[in-house]
Amino acid sequence: MSASITQEEVFTAIVSLLGEGKNPHHLNVRKALGGRGSGPHLSRFIRAFYAQYGRTMVHPPKVHPPKRRVEESFDQLLTSLRTVKRPEPHEGTAAYLTAVFECIGTNLDQIFVALMNWESELNCREERLSHLEPKLRNKKSAAPLTK
């Protein structure tokens, strides 16, 4: 049954799995192919895929994942708020509130920039993968694998 699986089918399944954010190991590839293909046979095709396209694959984004970056930014915000000088009893609270809101605004700007960078990195990855998928789908013949 594994002989009926072509390299092109496996490569297309791998690209699809990568697009879904799933690990393209032989079990996931077999599932994507409707249960067809033996583990060793699929593993050879997976190794061939990475040998051929691995260097063109997109690397993970260099910015921190948003959740971690946002958590760090909120920690930084709290630290910054603690440094805002409290008003003296005879001073009004307007200057204090202005300083607090400026501090919050600066930190929210940093969070926004981090999220925009993350979005840019993800868009770049999506574009690179979208160029790879048609190339794999249009491959005319599957070259036989040799060990």
Evaluate the CA torsion angle 67, 72, 78, 80 in order and state its sign.
Answer: negative
One-letter amino acid of 95:
A
Residue 50's pLDDT is 83
Residue 103's pLDDT is 80
CB 129 within 8 A of CB 15: yes
Nearest one of 117, 98, 108 to 74, comparing CA atoms: 108
| Euclidean distance between CA atoms 33 and 14, whole angstroms | 10
Sequence-distant (≥ 6) Cβ neighbours of residue 136 within 8 angstroms: 8, 11, 12, 15
CB 17 within 8 A of CB 96: no
| Euclidean distance between CA atoms 10 and 117, whole angstroms | 33
| Euclidean distance between CA atoms 44 and 125, whole angstroms | 26
Phi/psi-derived region of residue 25, left when phi > 0, alpha when psi is between -120 and 50, beta in every other case: beta
Place of tokens 């190991």: 25
pLDDT tens-digit profile, the chain (147 residues): 445 789 889 988 988 888 788 888 889 999 999 999 988 889 899 888 888 877 666 554 454 556 677 777 778 888 888 888 887 777 778 878 888 888 888 777 777 777 777 777 777 778 887 877 777 777 644 544 544
Q: How far apart are the first and last CA of the chain?
A: 20
